[in-house]
Amino acid sequence: MALGFATATAASASASGPRLSPFSLPPTHPLRASPSRGLLHAATSSFPRPRRCGCGAAMRCAKRTGKRRYPSEKKRLDRRHKELLRQAAPVEGSEGRESGYWRLSKLAVPARDDPGKDFTGISLPLLQAIAKAIKFPVASMLPDEAFTVIRKSFDARKVLKEPQFTYTVDMDVKKLLDMEPRAWDFIAWLEPKLGVVEYMPKEKLASDLVSMLNASSKGYDNELGIKDTHNGSICPQDKKPRVAVIGSGPSGLFASLVLGELGAEVTLLERGQPVEQRGRDIGALAVRRILQSESNFCFGEGGAGTWSDGKLVTRIGRNTDGVQAVMKTFVHFGAPPNILVDGKPHLGTDKLVPLLRNFRHHLRELGVTIRFNARVDDLIVEDGQVKGITVSDAELRPGSGSQKLSFDAVVLAVGHSARDTYNMLQQHNVDMSPKSFAVGLRIEHPQELINSIQYSELAAEVQKGRGRIPVADYKIVKSVGEKHAEELDIAEQSRSCYSFCMCPGGQVVLTSTDPSELCINGMSFSRRASKWANSALVVTVSSHDSKPFQSHGPLAGVEFHREFERRAAVMGGGNFVVPAQRVTDFISNILSVTTLPPSSYRLGVRPSKLHELFPPYITEALQQSIIMIDREMPGFVSSEALLHGVETRTSSPLQISRHGETYESTSLRGLYPIGEGAGYAGGILSAAVDGMCCGFALAKQLSLFHGDIESFLGKAQNQTGFVKY
């Protein structure tokens, strides 16, 4: 897309401050919209137009999926799904219905009748919803013991008559009939309905990884094919394969857990510090502005998600066995059990810290060697295969006091901020390719304002995270059309702008890893009790937009990030002060005030012209999207709303190529790139699942695991691309 800065002479916040260096991108096709009415019009009237060629208009068709399917296609799929449901359930009226489980979904309980967000048991209002679903006349006669809450979420959409809690419940037929025989007639004629009433021959009970693997500790298990890992007989002559795992984020931890449980000799290397020391280093940054380059919000035990919101939502299938195994492993290590039921589960930093400590202790009990403050500077490569790594003390310069270690395999589980690792991989000609990512700004409102917008009169029930109703959040996705679209490819005629890592009751934090760069993120604790709500508003950026940095090859996106992080640092005036602007001023392309509303960012904010920070195609997409959001959420554009710059590290800007089944690099044998830094995950859960899958795949290659990985983890777990959370 030929869009960008004409010139980049955005002024710093003060006349005497440093000026931004010139920066240019290809000529732009501006939206030519005025700050108010013009932008509003552009946001609603810019639709893609077909490209024209010498022979007339070119008609292009695309496969329609999801809600955009053709009606005939929807009807055909519905008939197919209904038939599959009928085949799965016993014949109506048959004795086969006296056992098994029925999953009842979309059970609605009005918020005014529900015990509240922290209650996950069976209440009378829920029994009434169950009775309505199975057409049972007297709800109070249904035994609580026959039902288990699987999912509970809060729904306050404006299309509803009133806010409600929505439940998914499993009904144990045998237990129900033992306690209430008169329910037989209603079970006998229960009709399966897709996504509402579904039959299961047995209860779905995924276990945590530790329990599953320990249950097969006596020889081969017929179902899983796991060999005894506790008697030292995995390999000939009792020699265990040696595996290095680089990075202790979710993917690295779960890869280490699987490999350690299956009998490999695992060394886990982390350039940062354990969570206890990491917390002290982050405190020094927030109070005394001391940035530790290897121990901060990005680097350290647990990865970047530790000092974030701890969200456990994913797009790879919440109910799949692999995801459930990860969730239950978190509970095994100390996470609260309600994350298994909550529709939007999150942990918060205060719950993640003890969980990680327990995880670390278990790995060490398995025999996993954990080395903190250990930076991997290089790979030892012979004949196209990794034979080991070069490690040095992270507090010293790369190469100083280095140590060479040999391994049979190296699992690369670094995060998206390990830029030096990307450079090292490029020197070894490892196959990497740029991929789309997103950049933008972080917007902050008073939490009470978001509660009021989302809940209306029910907002008083929130009570800073301690009330019956969850703290209000939002999730936004907007598509913004580009003018002059006939000159662009079809795929580039619109941009997606979406909210990312929304932190209700949270705060804005610094995620820089270099003093000359400035980037931010959001975090919150488990109660989400802060008086602020913040979220990133980001715009998709394609590899085409990184053309000014194409000399960097696959690292063009990394340089794209660096450029705007440096510009943000200059605009803020240094010393980790963040450039900020009222939303109303940002939309109008002005800086009307020298004072700003209060911000949760502890190192200070500075009034700045954020509308001059990014290229026009990003700025205008953000402006249009904010106006569109305000239509759906009146009050979102407010004098109290504050934009902070800059949010860039939403995901890795590149992907390291690997084989789909083995997880091994396509260009370097013995290297296994996984997780968010490798471009195969986008959050705690998806990264953990990716690490777990890699652990089993590598264990199979090392003859520690002889089962079917897909039957154990589910087909949905194999990741082939980036997944946003």
- Report CA dihedral (274, 276, 281, 283) to the nearest 10 degrees: 150
Taking only the tens place, the pLDDT of each residue in 274-327 is 999 999 999 999 999 999 999 999 999 999 999 988 899 888 878 788 899 999
Question: What DSSP assignment string belongs to 13-25?
Answer: SSTTSPPPPP---
Q: Establish how many alpha carbons lie within 13 A of residue 417's alpha carbon, considering only the half-sphere containing its beta carbon.
A: 27
Nearby residues of 157 by Cβ (< 8 Å), 6 or more positions away: none
Q: In this predicted structure, what is the pLDDT of residue 276?
A: 96
For residue 236, pLDDT beyond 50: no
CA distance 653 to 545: 12
Which pLDDT score, from 0 to 100, does residue 373 have?
Answer: 95
Lookup: tokens for 373? 């403050």
Q: State the angle between helix axes of 275-288 and 349-366 in degrees (0 to 180), rounded to the nearest 10.
A: 150
Residue whose C-alpha is closest to residue 724's, from 441, 315, 250: 315
Residue 27 or residue 690, greater confidence:
690
What mean pLDDT value characterizes the chain? 85
Residue 712, pLDDT above cutoff 80: no
Task: Report the 10 Å Cβ neighbour count for 557.
Answer: 26
Mean per-residue pLDDT, 266-277: 97
Question: Given pLDDT bands bounded at 50, 70 and 90, which one contains residue 65?
Answer: low
Q: How far apart are CA 723 and CA 36, in angstroms?
A: 35
Cα distance between residue 267 and residue 300, in whole Å: 16
Given a contact cutoff of 8 angstroms between Cβ atoms, the answer to whether 712 and 696 are in contact is: yes
Tally the residues of the chain. Answer: 725
CB atoms within 10 A of CB 496: 15
369 Cβ contact list (under 8 Å, min separation 6): 266, 267, 268
- Per residue in 346-396, pLDDT (tens digit) is 999 999 999 999 999 999 999 999 999 999 999 999 999 999 999 999 887
- For the cut 70, the answer to whether the pLDDT of residue 23 exceeds it is no
pLDDT-derived band at 122 (thresholds 50, 70, 90) equals very high
Q: Burial code of 70-92, b = ≥16 C-beta within 10 A, e = fewer?
A: eeeeeeeeeeeeeeebeeebbee
Among 68-72, 326-330, 365-369, 648-652, the range scoring the smallest mean pLDDT is: 68-72
Please give the backbone phi and psi of residue 269, each rounded to the nearest 5 degrees, phi first: -110, 125
Q: pLDDT band at 42, cuts 50/70/90?
A: very low
Q: Is the pLDDT of residue 614 over 90?
A: yes
H/E/C letters for each residue in 52-112?
A: EECCEECCCCCCCCHHHCCHHHHHHHHHHHHHHHHHHCCCCCCHHHHCCEEEEEEEEEECC
pLDDT-derived band at 220, boundaries 50, 70, 90: very low
At position 660, the amino acid (one-letter code) is: G
Q: What is the pLDDT of residue 486?
A: 45
Rounded to two decimals, the pTM is: 0.85
Q: Express each pLDDT in 86-106 by its tens digit.
A: 677 888 888 889 999 999 999
Confidence of residue 198 (pLDDT cuts 50, 70, 90): very high
Write down the pLDDT at residue 56.
41
Residue 295 pairs with which residues in a beta bridge?
292
Cα 617 to its chain centre, rounded Å, is: 25
How far apart, in whole angstroms, are the C-alpha atoms of residue 403 and residue 390? 6
Q: Give the three-state DSSP class for 136.
A: coil
Q: How far apart are CA 713 and CA 725, in angstroms?
A: 20
| pLDDT (mean) for 442-466 | 94
Q: Which of 567, 618, 609, 607 is nearest to 590 (CA)?
A: 609
CA 306 from chain centre, in angstroms, equals 13
Higher pLDDT, residue 446 or 35 = 446
Which whole-number Å values give the CA distances from 425 to 271, 380, 412, in the listed order?
17, 11, 11
Amino acid at 75: K
| Predicted pLDDT of residue 7 | 36
Q: Name the E strands within 555-604.
A: 578-582
pLDDT band at 27, cuts 50/70/90?
very low
pLDDT for the residue numbered 711: 65
Instruction: Give the CB-side neighbour count of residue 99, counting CA atoms within 13 A.
Output: 3
Instruction: Note the Cα 502 to chain centre separation in Å.
Output: 11
What's the Rg (C-alpha) of the chain? 27
Instruction: For residue 185, give the 3-state DSSP assignment.
Output: helix
Q: Report strand pairing: 197-200 vs 101-110.
A: antiparallel
CA gap 675, 55 in Å, rounded: 47
Mean pLDDT, residues 27-37? 39
* Integer Cα distance of 525 and 18 in angstroms: 37
